[in-house]
Chain A
Amino acid sequence: MIAYLVSVGTLAAITSLLVIGLNARWGLSGQLDLGFYLYVAFGAYVDGVLTLPPAHTQPGLSYILGLHLPFLVGFAGAAIASGLLSMVLGSVALRNLRGDYYAIVTVAATIIGYTVISDFTPLFNGYNGLYGASQPFQGILHLSLPAYQDFYFGLCVAVLLIVFVLAELLRRSPFGRAVRAIREDEVAATAFGRNAYRLRLKAYVIGGVIAGMGGSLMLHYVSAFNPASWSPLETFLLYGALLVGGTANNVGAVVGALIALIAFPQLTQLIPGFAANSNGGPALQDIIIGLLIIAVLRFRPAGMLPERETMSGQLRTRGSWNWRRTRVTSSDEV
């Protein structure tokens, strides 16, 4: 039972981290990025090829690099690589596109990335993916398996706490206020001298860095990563968590992740007969998340823990971003 809780807890910590990363993009800058999971996967793969031994030492595998470096280098490499990829793709997409068109391009870019990673074997071993990822710090610690799982749980929680505090500081920083001001009213914020594109790109890169970290932790948690273990659809599940918990609220992001992505799936597994149907569990989970998104948008658009209005209420919401108080939709938007 303890082992089960530790395992679920580790997954919960990593998932919460991912939702905080998504919040940095969608919550702060209000751009509907449907490609978030590409950066998670890219981080996992980059960490993999940095920490795994060279490919030629493992028959039947082929991937780039294979530097056999320690976990910390892989973790940092994953964060940097996903951040760089965010900068490249974000600088193209954010400069030119808004709203739903932006969302469509991000999902198209993700599927392109997914296809290339799956089919181009020399890069990350194609459809078979990477496996046999190292256990971080095990070379120094030499723990037994249960003790190591406890340690890894602690490691993930520690990373989550650090990122949470940083994300919270960032949200309250001048940068955080400026980027949210642009989300609310781009014209007004631009008139006050803010560069909307640069601020959005910064939020996008920050989200990408957190995604890379999450991908790295995910890789060392499951020890293998291949295209079957992620799909462009995963991003929608993270959105479900963020919308349920409360968009633009980091506490909400964690609460949403725990409820929508951890508690619900674990509970559906308890329904008798589900273990027999291999598609049943994941399908039911996705159906529930879809229905949750609809219900939240209908009955509690700001989520369970709404974004706090800071700056003594100066931040009036009247842009198209806010779910509640926008004017009637019309074709002159975007």
Chain B
Amino acid sequence: MSTFLLGIGFGLVTASVLAISTVALSLQFGVTKVPNFAHGELMTVGAYAAYLTLKASHNVVLAAVAAILAGVVLAVAINKLLFGMFQGRNVARLTLFVLTIAASLVVQNAVLFVFGGSTVPLPVGGGTPHHLGPFLFTYQQEIIILLAVVAMIGVHLLLKYTNFGRAQRAVAENVSLAKASGLNAASVINRTWILTGSLAGLSGFVLGFTTGGIYPAMGFQFLLVVFAAAILGGIGQPYGAMAGSLLVGVTMEVSALYISSDYKTVVAFGLLILALLLRPQGLVPAPTSAVG
């Protein structure tokens, strides 16, 4: 059993968590064009909602549903309340970005205020690792990978074959054209936020699940890893996000075998900076549209 393969195995788990969150960020960025700095907080509230549900019911499925709901509530609040306040006013994109920073500050510290700063373990069973092909996984980790695969296939089917998916892609491509074609852009954007919130909330729960504990800054600290994966994959592109997550997740975990694991986020941010400097269009550039 080589340690390198072990690293890849861990990487696949991290990439699974990352992929769910990154696809969520990419979908939302695609339609709003604003990178949501409070995206990490969608994950945090999801994790805490799952924690409360687990404490009350000991049911993992219920906890996942609670995480999704919490993510949706916060995502819709950001869209409807926060961005809604500025609707119809001519605000720069950077202003909206600063607003999401403020939202991140408020939500993260509200969680800190209510739950305190210490790490609380998610009460889920440990599970013993066993061999699966060349890798070593626990059942939990297998479930996480499976969950990510199902979520990715779900997003793919949704985008490709439903009316909402077509509308979502149209708005992401060109919002004015979509409006002119009779689409209700505001509704499409809101539904995208709902989808983003549900995926991000779920990924927060899964993140707490893999790391074993949750704390108020968990989402914020994971945020830049998500940005790294999203930007590597070409921000605003769900399929690129999946590829970016795989690359960032595996690189992080494999690097942790060779240098101190304290530096694995540094490795991810290094990838982020390199990606922005060298290949800002992402690994998979967007197909150029007919309108240019």
Contact = CB atoms under 8 A, between A and B. Distances in A.
Contacts of A259: none
Given A32-B98, A291-B106, A119 B262 contact: yes
A85 interface: no
Interface of A: 32, 34, 92, 96-97, 99-101, 103-105, 107-109, 111-112, 115-116, 118-119, 233, 236, 239-240, 243, 279-280, 282-284, 286-287, 289-291, 293-294, 297-298, 301, 320-329, 331, 333-334
Contact of A92 (B34, B231, B263, B277): B277
A112 B277 CA distance: 16
Interface string B214-231: 000000000010011001
Contact of A290 (B94, B97, B102): B102
A328 B277 contact: no
A100 B94 contact: yes
Contacts, number: 145
Interface in B45-104: 82, 85-86, 90-99, 101-104
Contacts of B152: none
Contacts of B91: 297, 323, 326, 329
Given A236-B105, A293-B99, A294-B82, 9 more contacts: A32-B98, A92-B277, A96-B276, A104-B35, A107-B224, A297-B95, A297-B99, A326-B92, A331-B33
B280 A101 contact: yes
Given A32-B97, A328-B90, A334-B93, A287 B117 contact: no
B266 interface: yes
A32 B94 contact: yes
Interface in B240-288: 260, 262-263, 265-266, 269-270, 272-273, 276-277, 280
B158 interface: no
A287 B276 contact: no
A112 B231 CA distance: 18
The A interface, classified by DSSP as helix, strand, loop or mixed, is helix
Given A109-B273, A115-B265, A239 B98 contact: yes
16 contacts: A100-B97, A104-B224, A105-B272, A107-B224, A108-B272, A109-B273, A115-B265, A119-B260, A119-B262, A119-B263, A236-B101, A239-B101, A287-B110, A290-B104, A291-B106, A320-B93
Interface string B89-130: 011111111110111111011101100110000000000000
A294 B103 contact: yes
A288 to B, nearest CB: 9
A100 B99 CA distance: 12
Contact of B106 (A104, A243, A287): A287
A112 B101 contact: no
Contact of B105 (A286, A320, A324): A286
Contacts of B86: 297-298
Nearest to A331: B33
A233 B105 CA distance: 8
A289 B280 CA distance: 33
A105 B109 contact: no
A331 B292 CA distance: 12
Contacts of B106: 286-287, 290-291, 294
A116 B35 contact: no
A294 B100 CA distance: 9
B94 A320 contact: yes
